[in-house]
Structure 1
Amino acid sequence: MTWRVVSASEIGTSHIAAGTTCDDSCWAAVEVTAEGQPFLSMFVSDGAGSASRGGEGAELAIQAAADFIANKLTHKEFGLSDDLAVECVVAIRERIYSRAETEGLKARDFACTFLGVLSSALGTLVMQVGDGGIVLDAGSGLETAIVPMSGEYANMTHFVTDEEAVTILATKAYPAPATRVAVFSDGLQRLVLDMVTNKPHEPFFAKFFQVLASATVDKEDELHCALVRFLGSPSVNERTDDDKSLAIAVLLS
């Protein structure tokens, strides 16, 4: 078994108008465990608009998470557990806090959310700090794994740089590999989730899963370009002016 993946981040129209850069960052990859088994990792991070270096924080979060998993994959055994999620978030915080100290800034200057999915033949682990969402099918149909987090006030959320981030961290474990997964930043949240029930809009995701499942290896670059075009399309920008990220994976037989 293995997965086919595609991911992209695209700047929002409000950022273009303000002359700022995209503050989202994402990652989706299939690597191999020490036992030679495929291992899926997917991460999305959204830099806080109120943070002067939020976009850089998002990139640091993704890099730190990817490096953390690459190191874990050199070990013969590690469980997809809450402890692993905590270790990952701590690694992200250490990376960001170190950069902040080096540059004489505060960690809050790099504030960002973090969402992650790890999956193998042994199971699936989902982790989340902040808004955005994770939709997956681990054998019981498509579901929103964790209710997107909001802060105390409207348009607020939690960040991986918050002092209480490890306490706020939400996780969910599944005993089976994820067959279909989509991870997205809050720029897409209102387009793809029912904001009352937090259930996924299945028709939206179905077309992406279908295209990804039917594509051949030589079409992967085209899939990325098509996803970038979609995220920057008028139909999406008419409904959201925020940056948006989308990472998708489908388990192949």
Structure 2
Amino acid sequence: MIWKHLSLSVTGKSHSDRNEPGQDYCRTGALRFSDRDFFVSLAADGAGSTTHGGVGAEIACETLYLQILSVIREGENISSITDDNIRTWVSASREAIAARAQGNGQRIKDYACTLIGVVATNDQALYFQIGDGCIVTGDGTGYRTIFWPEQGEYANTTYFVSDDTFLEHIKIERQGAAPDEIALFTDGLQNLVLSFSTRTVHEGFFRPLFAALRKKPDSDFADLTTHLIALLSRDDVNARSDDDKTLVLAVNIPVS
């Protein structure tokens, strides 16, 4: 089995209108080590109220990606990765953010960000998350969320890697089989593709996108990416969500 994937981030209108950069970041890769194929994906959303949330998001994803890569290169199976290992990875990301903040004479909360992660092989999958945004998986019959986006104590708030209580808000789930399809997205998309009243997934959004990704030749996703960027930048979409929008799509392809 091999993994085909694409990822993109669209700067929200709330930032572009102020000539500000987007604050989302994602790091994704399809890797092969010791005759095993891995899909690794991380997405983070810098808090809109911060000055450097986008930098925090990048540091969190890149630091965690290297942590995961080191484990994969050592030949570890996903099943051997413990919850404490995941907490150690996230703690390392937080420490890297704190070091950047201290070096710049700033507070760690100035770099606040959420975090979503997936590590999958052909027979196992590991998911973890802090804050909002979502992971959606498909098995050929339907779509489900791994975790529901976690909201904070007050409206329009959530939890961040920079929080003192971040360890209390790390959600972790394991599955003994990899899904056929995986999507990760930040909170700029969640109100558009999830039904909060029924806690279900809008399958009509994901099904055609996964089908299109499967049909594309490997690494030739330029037109599909362009289509998605145009879709997520439309005025009617921005009217419903003017936040940054990051989307990662991945499908596993059996190897004959």
Using the size of structure 1 for normalisation, the TM-score is 0.94
Asked if 1 retains the 8 angstrom alpha-carbon contact of 2:142 and 2:203, the reply is: no
Note closer, same or farther for the CA distance 1:100–1:218 as it changes in structure 2 (3 Å cut).
closer
Asked if 2 retains the 8 angstrom alpha-carbon contact of 1:28 and 1:248, the reply is: no
The whole-number CA distance in structure 2 between the counterparts of 1:81 and 1:250 is 25
Instruction: Indicate whether 1:63 and 2:62 are aligned.
Output: yes
Asked if 2 retains the 8 angstrom alpha-carbon contact of 1:138 and 1:176, the reply is: no
> Which region of structure 1 is more displaced relative to structure 2, 184-193 or 91-100?
91-100
Alignment of 1:129-168 (within 5 A): 129-137=130-138, 141-168=142-169
Deviations 1:57-78 (A, max 9, x none): 1111111122112211210224
Using the size of structure 2 for normalisation, the TM-score is 0.93
SS in 1 for 2:75: coil
Letter aligned with residue 67 of structure 1: L
Deviations 1:181-213 (A, max 9, x none): 111000001100011232111111101111011
- Residue 51 of structure 1 corresponds to 50
The whole-number CA distance in structure 1 between the counterparts of 2:95 and 2:137 is 29
Letter aligned with residue 27 of structure 1: R
SS in 1 for 2:132: coil
Deviations 1:1-22 (A, max 9, x none): 0111000011111111222110
The whole-number CA distance in structure 2 between the counterparts of 1:140 and 1:88 is 33
Asked if 2 retains the 8 angstrom alpha-carbon contact of 1:138 and 1:174, the reply is: no
Letter aligned with residue 70 of structure 2: N
Note closer, same or farther for the CA distance 1:208–1:50 as it changes in structure 2 (3 Å cut).
same
Alignment of 1:1-253 (within 5 A): 1-33=1-33, 35-78=34-77, 79-137=80-138, 141-253=142-254
Note closer, same or farther for the CA distance 1:208–1:249 as it changes in structure 2 (3 Å cut).
same
The whole-number CA distance in structure 1 between the counterparts of 2:41 and 2:219 is 21
The whole-number CA distance in structure 1 between the counterparts of 2:12 and 2:49 is 15
Unaligned runs of 5+ in 1: none
| Number of aligned residue pairs | 252
Note closer, same or farther for the CA distance 1:52–1:115 as it changes in structure 2 (3 Å cut).
same
When the two chains are superposed, the root-mean-square deviation of aligned CA atoms in Å is 1.6
Note closer, same or farther for the CA distance 1:193–1:4 as it changes in structure 2 (3 Å cut).
same
Letter aligned with residue 59 of structure 1: E
Unaligned runs of 5+ in 2: none
The whole-number CA distance in structure 1 between the counterparts of 2:104 and 2:125 is 37
The whole-number CA distance in structure 2 between the counterparts of 1:184 and 1:37 is 26
Note closer, same or farther for the CA distance 1:248–1:140 as it changes in structure 2 (3 Å cut).
same
User: Would you identify which runs of 4 or more consecutive aligned residues in structure 1 move more than 6 Å?
Assistant: none
SS in 2 for 1:146: coil
Asked if 2 retains the 8 angstrom alpha-carbon contact of 1:134 and 1:181, the reply is: yes
Asked if 1 retains the 8 angstrom alpha-carbon contact of 2:118 and 2:128, the reply is: yes
Note closer, same or farther for the CA distance 1:229–1:93 as it changes in structure 2 (3 Å cut).
same
SS in 2 for 1:176: coil
Deviations 1:17-41 (A, max 9, x none): 22211011112210123x2211001
SS in 2 for 1:211: helix
